[in-house]
């Protein structure tokens, strides 16, 4: 038994969707690639203090007191050890770094600098592992500093 409707040509199948799908896929891939590059810049917020000169040439309001900078340099002489240097502080132990930074914060407070006006910048050296930066970051937070930022390198 043959089915007669199987051999008939159906002309009411609708428009060809293949070119539309191709164009949509090209646009989708383009948006995914562009979105990846823009997303990285959108979430990197800098806490660096405002300077009086620079590319923007921002004018400072009268009576503006800039933040007190405190730079911490982090190096890794061996793959399993780090050394943090901040002024006269030089240590490779997170607990000792916390105690020394707390003492430094108290000295700055005694000199008239409020906690909101002290900014800590952590600058990693070459080949410093992320876990060492986290340890230094936590030491700065445990010492009571409110503004802690990362520099690109030293």
What is the per-residue pLDDT across 19-39, written as a single tens digit (0 to 9) for each?
A: 999 999 999 999 888 876 654
Number of domains in the chain: 1
**End-to-end alpha carbon distance in the chain:** 85
CATH number of the domain residue 129 falls in: 3.30.420.270
Spatial separation of the C-alpha atoms in residues 122 and 97, rounded to whole Å: 13
Instruction: Kindly state whether residue 95 falls inside one of the protein's structural domains.
Output: yes
Mean predicted lDDT score pLDDT of the chain:
80
Instruction: Kindly state whether residue 21 falls inside one of the protein's structural domains.
Output: no
pTM here?
0.58
Instruction: Kindly state whether residue 13 falls inside one of the protein's structural domains.
Output: no
Spatial separation of the C-alpha atoms in residues 70 and 101, rounded to whole Å: 10
What is the per-residue pLDDT across 90-106, written as a single tens digit (0 to 9) for each?
A: 988 889 999 999 998 89
Distances (CA, A) of 26 to 21, 37, 56: 9, 17, 38
Q: Is the pLDDT of residue 42 over 80?
A: no
Instruction: Quote the distance between the C-alpha of residue 11 and its chain's center.
Output: 59
Q: Which domain holds residue 120?
A: 68-150
Instruction: Kindly state whether residue 55 falls inside one of the protein's structural domains.
Output: no
């Amino acid at each position: 038994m043959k089915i007669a409707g199987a051999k008939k040509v159906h002309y009411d199948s609708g428009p060809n969707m293949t070119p539309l799908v191709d164009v949509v896929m090209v646009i989708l891939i383009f948006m995914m690639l562009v979105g990846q590059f823009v997303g990285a810049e959108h979430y990197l917020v800098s806490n660096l203090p405002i300077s009086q000169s620079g590319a923007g040439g921002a004018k400072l309001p009268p009576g503006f007191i800039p933040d007190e900078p405190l730079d911490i340099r982090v190096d890794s002489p061996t793959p399993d050890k780090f050394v943090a240097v901040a002024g006269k502080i030089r240590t490779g132990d997170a607990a000792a770094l916390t105690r020394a930074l707390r003492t430094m914060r108290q000295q700055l407070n005694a000199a008239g600098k409020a906690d909101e006006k002290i900014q800590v910048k952590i600058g990693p050296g070459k080949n410093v592992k992320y876990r060492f930066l986290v340890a230094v970051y936590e030491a700065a937070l445990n010492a009571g500093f409110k503004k802690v930022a990362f520099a690109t390198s030293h």
